[in-house]
Structure 1
Amino acid sequence: MYLSMFLGPNVRGPEDDRLALELSIEQALLADAAGFAAVYLGEQHYNDYEPYSDPLVMAAHLAPQLTQAYLGTSMIPLPRHHPLALVERINLLDQLSAGRCIIGMSSGRPVPDPSFPVPFPEGGAAQLFEEKLQVMLAAWVHRRADGPLAFETSTERGSMPNRMMPTNYRRGTPLWAIGTNTASKVHASGVLGRKIHTAGLDAAGTAKLMGVYRDGMTEGGIAAETVEENLDWFLHTKVVFVGETDEEAAEAAAPMLIGRSLPPWIFTPPEQQGLQLVDLLRVDPGPMASAMGQPESLAAFIQKTSIVGSPATVAARLQAFEDAGVRHSHIRFVFGSLADPDLFRRSLRLFIDEVMPQLRTQTMPALRADQVADHSGS
């Protein structure tokens, strides 16, 4: 089993920004020392979530401090970025981490973002994502001897006259993945051999999506070695909070999970009204939505996105994913209010000391010599 940590703190306002940054760095170093496979950072703008804002800058700060964990992004909204400028920054992180990075990218919001006033093409964010991805892939294989690299997307056009600087450390391209829970996109990515990161589903739903992904890779004739690497990086995402007992954990986590504004598509059926978090984690939740924006009950939303309980409960929930064939768990340990950051410190300490010994965790293997780029003839 691989474990990744997602550094996704919420803040109440600017008074918490420094605390959130310091806590993120602290937890990243603990994760690296404990044997987590990767530390992931997200990208947010103009709100109170992930106040480091730029995952590549934050990752560059962490790169020399981590001894074995990969650095990942979850997710860079590709339509917001100039593709060549993004390749430059990703390559720099690839060099600083000696190839130990993986870049998760997504289409971002399905409608134009008012804070990013660039009109989408007819095919929407998905089309713009693919246009920019193709420019990035071309830039990664481009060499000085090829001459200028002309490019055009729905939002920019131009030419790279010389070469990409810096070049990438890892042969071919830095590792990258697409974030989606949509079965058709997962299958199509499998056909092309692209890596996939998924959001929260239960073990059965995640395993079903992985089956769709395997089928796509089989259909695409993807090499066995690449299939295994892709399955190692096929991760699901969970919020995790650990307490000494199930009741203690639920009491501490309740204000942060149900005592907040919930997405408008979450509803509370009569039989779930008035239930405490410890009960919502145990009741029959009804059907779980396969993607964000689809209606589901409060219990379904909580059970799909969260694992809360004693070390034994948390270990059993994570083990269920490995038993279903899902190898990689992507865990967010800080969420909700930072009014008492020691709550999260204690939770992570319990996870490292009492949950991880119950799981068969491993780190990602070191790069082989043949995986390092040779640009001597470029």
Structure 2
Amino acid sequence: MDFSLLYFANRKVDDPPAEYDLLFDAARFADEHDFTAVWLPERHFHPFGGAYPNPALAAAALATRTSRLRLRAGSVVLPLHDPLTVVEDWAFVDNLSRGRVDLALATGWNANDFTLVPERYEDRRAYTRDHVPVLRDLWAGKTVTRRNGKGEDVEVGTYPRPVQPELDMWLTCASHPAGFAEAGALGLNVLTALLFQRVEDLAPRVTAYRDAREKAGLDPDTGQVTVMVHTFVGESDAAVRETVRAPFLEYLESSVDLWKDHWQDLGRLSGEKLLSYAFERYFRTSALLGSVEKCTRFVRDLREAGVTEVASLIDFGAPGPVTLDALPYLDQVRRAVQEG
């Protein structure tokens, strides 16, 4: 089981640059403590996640501050981009990092994001699927035919050339089994979360993913399944609850318009009852929130369901120094799982 960090801060903060201090300081800790990667999102036009409009920029900032960590887009919303510029940006980061770049690809879901390219919204899934081989070809040094400013068809490739000959990629899947199967058929890894699914839902979806890989002529056991989980590990469950409840409720409130319609079990809940229900769901069954012992059991349950990597979302609103002080407890979970 691999352990990584993931960032998705709410931009409504009193000291905006401080969240980037947390990015750098936490990544330094992960780089020095055998974590696998850091995941950096792409978000537009909303304070929830809005600290990261371009994951390549954040990855470039980390490339010269770390020496071992993988630097991963989690995710590039591919329909918002031309594959040419995606490969250009990430090949640059691959050079800065000496070959430590990976990408997760997302189809996108928020219609407002597509003010950038509104014509791609309806067919965004097909656009993503169809451009996976284009990304692979461009990364490998092949060219594509495009029309230039004079109306002429020309062959173009990308520079700088990356360090890695091949690009390892994930497909971001919310919860629908078809997304997991599509990732398997495309030969991609999976990046998912427990936002709209529970741990017990993962096993059949991972099975669908592995079956699809096998049907595509790929080794079904080699694909990776990464799960994002909100994370704060501490001395005891009670201490963690006291520390995280207020900032986590604020974090949930900042994004309630993005997630409330996706939960089937909310009924007529609203306001404080809705947020309280969501917090309890995360704390009890869907996040790494609590003691080392509780969180270790949770990660082992994820591993039993077929998960191969935990990506810990740490910047949900607890003060930066408090979040950093909790990382050694998360490292205890990592060592307990990997050594046990």
TM-score class normalised by the smaller sequence: 0.7 to 0.9
Alignment of 1:25-44 (within 5 A): 25-44=24-43
Offset of residue 73 of structure 1: 0.9
Q: Secondary structure of the equivalent of 1:254? A: helix
Offset of residue 90 of structure 1: 1.6
Pick aligned residue for 1:355 from 312, 333, 339: 333
Residue 194 of structure 2 corresponds to residue 219 of structure 1: no
Compared CA separation, residues 9 and 361, structure 1 to 2 (3 A): farther
Pick aligned residue for 1:307 from 288, 292, 295: 288
Q: Provide the C-alpha distance between the structure 1 equivalents of 2:55 and 2:87, rounded to a whole number of angstroms.
A: 14
CA contact (8 A) 1:7 1:50 kept: no
CA contact (8 A) 1:71 1:101 kept: yes
Q: Secondary structure of the equivalent of 1:359? A: helix
Q: Provide the C-alpha distance between the structure 2 equivalents of 1:349 and 1:53, rounded to a whole number of angstroms.
A: 29
Q: Secondary structure of the equivalent of 1:264? A: helix
Alignment of 1:97-116 (within 5 A): 97-109=97-109, 111=111, 113=113, 115-116=115-116
Which residue does the alignment assign to 1:174?
167
Which residue does the alignment assign to 1:202?
198
Unpaired runs of at least 5, structure 1: 281-296, 363-378
The superposition leaves residues 140-160 of structure 1 with CA deviations (integer Å, 9 ceiling, x where unpaired) of: 3454xxxx63149xxxx9855
Offset of residue 360 of structure 1: 0.6
The superposition leaves residues 244-278 of structure 1 with CA deviations (integer Å, 9 ceiling, x where unpaired) of: 211111122111333442333252678xx97997x
Q: Provide the C-alpha distance between the structure 2 equivalents of 1:330 and 1:42, rounded to a whole number of angstroms.
A: 12
Which residue does the alignment assign to 2:94?
94
Q: Provide the C-alpha distance between the structure 2 equivalents of 1:356 and 1:34, rounded to a whole number of angstroms.
A: 10
CA contact (8 A) 1:308 1:314 kept: yes
**Residues matched between the structures, number:** 323
Which residue does the alignment assign to 2:183?
189
Offset of residue 311 of structure 1: 1.3
Compared CA separation, residues 25 and 185, structure 1 to 2 (3 A): same
Alignment of 1:124-135 (within 5 A): 124-135=123-134
Q: Provide the C-alpha distance between the structure 2 equivalents of 1:178 and 1:185, rounded to a whole number of angstroms.
A: 8
CA contact (8 A) 1:105 1:176 kept: yes
Offset of residue 95 of structure 1: 2.4
Q: Provide the C-alpha distance between the structure 1 equivalents of 2:267 and 2:289, rounded to a whole number of angstroms.
A: 20
Offset of residue 100 of structure 1: 1.9
Residue 229 of structure 2 corresponds to residue 238 of structure 1: yes
Q: Provide the C-alpha distance between the structure 1 equivalents of 2:154 and 2:140, rounded to a whole number of angstroms.
A: 13
Offset of residue 317 of structure 1: 0.9
CA contact (8 A) 2:67 2:97 kept: no
Compared CA separation, residues 303 and 205, structure 1 to 2 (3 A): farther
CA contact (8 A) 1:333 1:348 kept: no
Offset of residue 36 of structure 1: 0.6
Which residue does the alignment assign to 2:74?
74
Pick aligned residue for 1:334 from 315, 319, 323: 315
Pick aligned residue for 1:149 from 144, 148, 167: 144
Percentage identity across paired residues of the two chains:
20
The amino acid of 2:161's aligned partner reads T
Tell me how large the CA RMSD over aligned residues is. Answer: 2.9
Between structures 1 and 2, the one with greater helix share = 2
Q: Secondary structure of the equivalent of 1:3? A: strand
Offset of residue 185 of structure 1: 2.4
Offset of residue 355 of structure 1: 2.4
Q: TM-score, normalised by structure 2?
A: 0.84
The amino acid of 1:17's aligned partner reads P
Q: Provide the C-alpha distance between the structure 2 equivalents of 1:116 and 1:308, rounded to a whole number of angstroms.
A: 37
CA contact (8 A) 2:45 2:112 kept: no
Compared CA separation, residues 158 and 112, structure 1 to 2 (3 A): farther
Q: Provide the C-alpha distance between the structure 1 equivalents of 2:83 and 2:199, rounded to a whole number of angstroms.
A: 35
Q: Secondary structure of the equivalent of 1:65? A: coil
Offset of residue 198 of structure 1: 1.2
Q: Provide the C-alpha distance between the structure 1 equivalents of 2:315 and 2:215, rounded to a whole number of angstroms.
A: 39
Compared CA separation, residues 141 and 274, structure 1 to 2 (3 A): closer
